[in-house]
Every structure is written in structure tokens, then in C-alpha cells.
Amino acid sequence: MDREIPAEVKKQKMLKRLLRLAVTGTAATAALLILSRVLGNDLHENELFIRKVDRGPIEISVSASGKLMPLQEEIIVTPINTRILEVYKNPGDSVDEGDPLLKLELASVETEYRQKLDEREMMKSKLEQARVRLNGTISELEMQRRVKSMQAKQLYTDLQDERYLDSIGAGTPDKIRRAELNYEETKLELQLLEQKIENEHKNARAELRVQELELGILDKTLEEKARLLKDARILSPRKATLTFINRQIGSQVPQGTQVAVVSDLTRLKVDCEIGDQHREKLSVGAKAVIKTGDTELRGTVVTVTPSVTNGIVYFTVVPDEADHPGLRSGLSVDIHVLYGLRQNVLRIPNGTFFKYGPGLYDLWIVREGRAEKREVSLGESSYEYVEITDGLNEGDRVILSDMERYKDKQTLKIRKN
């Protein structure tokens, strides 16, 4: 026999059924509203990025990518084939000028340097000996010349005496001829001696010059060895931050290997790259805008590489405030290089819609609760604005949001809220 269900239980079941129906209805209504907003023609104005067309200047620019790097950075390389014995610093350490960074094995270079010093002393001694020897030879010849000169003078006096005696009848022609012969012979010997002295001077100068040149070459070699020894004692060249150091103690490092890098992280530059189709828009001295997050700084192009590598041109921008606190080494930034200026042009703010440079674009114009798609001709651009060359008037309200999903639509309804 069936039992009768109490009225209170029936009432509770009815309330639960009504509650389920209400929840299901609310969810269905919400889903329909969402679906209508996604697939339908209605948009809410407060969800759109809308701006007015106005007039003003445009600083024409081309965009590039860049990375902040130290403005002053010095790469330290080993000047010789050696190995690392000790490391005194770690990456990130602050260093002062002259601080030792690491120690290299220098025994072979030091030995060679000392050998060259000994060789130089020997060469200096040989040069001094040559000077003494050559000066002695020339001094001896000079003494012989003086003696021969005195003999010639005496023979000339004897000749004059014989001629006098002959004039008074006390001499003979034979004595005069003998005196003349002796005098002429001595005079020739004197001339030969003087020529020999001159030749000895020339030979001495040449011999000493050769030895002096050899000594000079050795001095340059010693200077180079001394420089190698100095450079091989790896010291910080300036007050900076150590950004890299080879810490592999005992490892072999060939000549020219990078062993440390010191950087001034208080002043930065931007190493930039751009497609080679924009090469003609770059020039040294051009102004640029550097953007990273909310930070926007002006700068100047200081270098442009003359060559193209894999379709890329590299250039460098130095910020006017190279020590700005918003800049961090290694940070990627956007670069806008300015290369022209247009005054009093129709413009709209730049955005993601401007993808392909100057040309025709489909833009949405908002008017009286509706958005209408219109073909608009856009011209040059800056990082802030795009020039309008045809299709829009001053005061027109343009949707700058991404409208790709509505590319098949021609009009849309715009709701205020």
C-alpha cells in the first residue's frame, strides 16, 4: 500500500526544480549574450581603442631593434701563449684602475727578456770597443800626418835655401833638383795620408752606424718584450665593472685569447640592427628615440656599418642621457631613427594596424552609434603617428583596436555601454 508523500516534502522538491530551471535559464541567457557579442555585429565602445583624426607634425622614422650595451668596454686578451695560474676577481666585481685580475705563467717570457738584456749589454760593450779602436787608428794617422806635414815644411825650406845659394853662385843644379824631388815626394805622401785619414773617418762612421742600428733594433725588441710582460700581468685598465673573466685555473690560453672584459655600466649605448632596405634612411648624426617599457629617451646615431651582413645593417645609438637609471645593460629596446619631418598633416596614433608601411588599409570609422569600414590611404609614420593621405577628415573617430575578426563585415553597431 502506497504511503502519501507529506506536503512539506512536495514543497521542497518543487523549490529545487524551480531553482534548477532558473540557473539553467540564466546560464543560457549569458551564453547567448556572449555568443552574440562574439559572432554578432554589436561592439561596446568602452572596449575599443578609439581616437580622433587631428592635424600636427610627424617626425618620420624607421623602426629597428636594439640591445643596451656598455658605452665603454675593454676586452683584455693574453699577449702570449701561456696558461692561467691564479684568478683574483669574479664577474660582477667592481675594480679600480691597476687592480690585478688574474696571473699568467710568464717564466719563458721573463727568461727571454733577461737574455735580451744581457745581449744588449754585450752589444753596448762591443760598440764602445769599436769606438775606442777606430778613434785610436785615426789618432795615430793624425799624428803621422802632423809629422809628415812638418817634414814637408822643412824640405820646402831646404829647397828655398838651395835656390838662394844657386842664385849667388854657391849652389849646383843637382842639389836643387834633389831638394825639389824630396819636397814633392813628401808632399805626395802627405796628401795620401790625409786621404787615408778621411777614408778612416768614413769607415769608422759606417761601422759605428751599423752597430748602433743593431743596438736600436735590440732596444725595440726589448721594449716589445717589456710591453708583453706588462700586458701579461692582467690588470684592470680603468675603474669599471668586471663583466667576464676566465676562471679556468691551469688552462692553456693561446695568444689573443679573451681572458677578461671590464665595462663601465654607468653609461650605455644601443647596438642596433635593421633590414638593409632601410640603409639609405640611416646616417651618422641622425636623431633617434629609444623606448623600453615606459622609458622614452632621445639619442644620436654615432656609427653605421658600411657593409651588409645577411641582409642586416648594424648601427649604434648613444642616448643623450647615457646614464639614465631606466637603462640596464643587456636590455632589449625599440629604436626609432628619425629621418624627416612633415608639418600640419592629418594623422592618427600609430598602432598594430599599421603593419606594411605606406599604402591602403581598411579602417573602421565610428559615427552615430555605428562603425563603418572604409578604405584609407596611409603615408609616412613616426613611432607616435601615422600620416593620412586620403579617406579621412579631421575629427573623424577611428577604431585602432585589432579588428581582424570583423574583416568580413562592413558595418557594426557600437553600444555606449
Candidate CATH numbers 3.40.50, 1.10.287, 3.30.70, 1.20.1070; the one for domain 108-231: 1.10.287
Going from N- to C-terminal start, the domains of the chain cover 46-69+261-415, 79-106+242-256, 108-231
pLDDT at 1 over 50: no
Which residues have CB under 8 Å from 1's CB, separation 6+? none
How far apart are alpha carbons 172 and 162 in whole angstroms? Answer: 8
pLDDT at 5: 57
- 351-407 pLDDT, tens digit each: 888 888 889 999 999 988 899 999 999 999 888 899 999 999 999 999 998 888 888
Phi, psi of 162 (to 5 degrees): -65, -40
How far apart are alpha carbons 135 and 207 in whole angstroms? Answer: 12
Q: The domain at 46-69+261-415 falls in which architecture? A: Beta Barrel (2.40)
pLDDT at 295 over 60: yes
Q: Rounded to two decimals, what is the model's pTM?
A: 0.57
pLDDT at 35: 44
Q: Which residues of 282-305 are buried (b: 16+ CB within 10 A; e: fewer)?
A: beeebbbbbebeeeebebebeebe
What is the percent of the chain with per-residue pLDDT over 70, rounded to a whole number? 90
Mean pLDDT of 209-227: 86
pLDDT at 270: 94
Q: Output 33 or 13, whichever has higher pLDDT.
A: 13
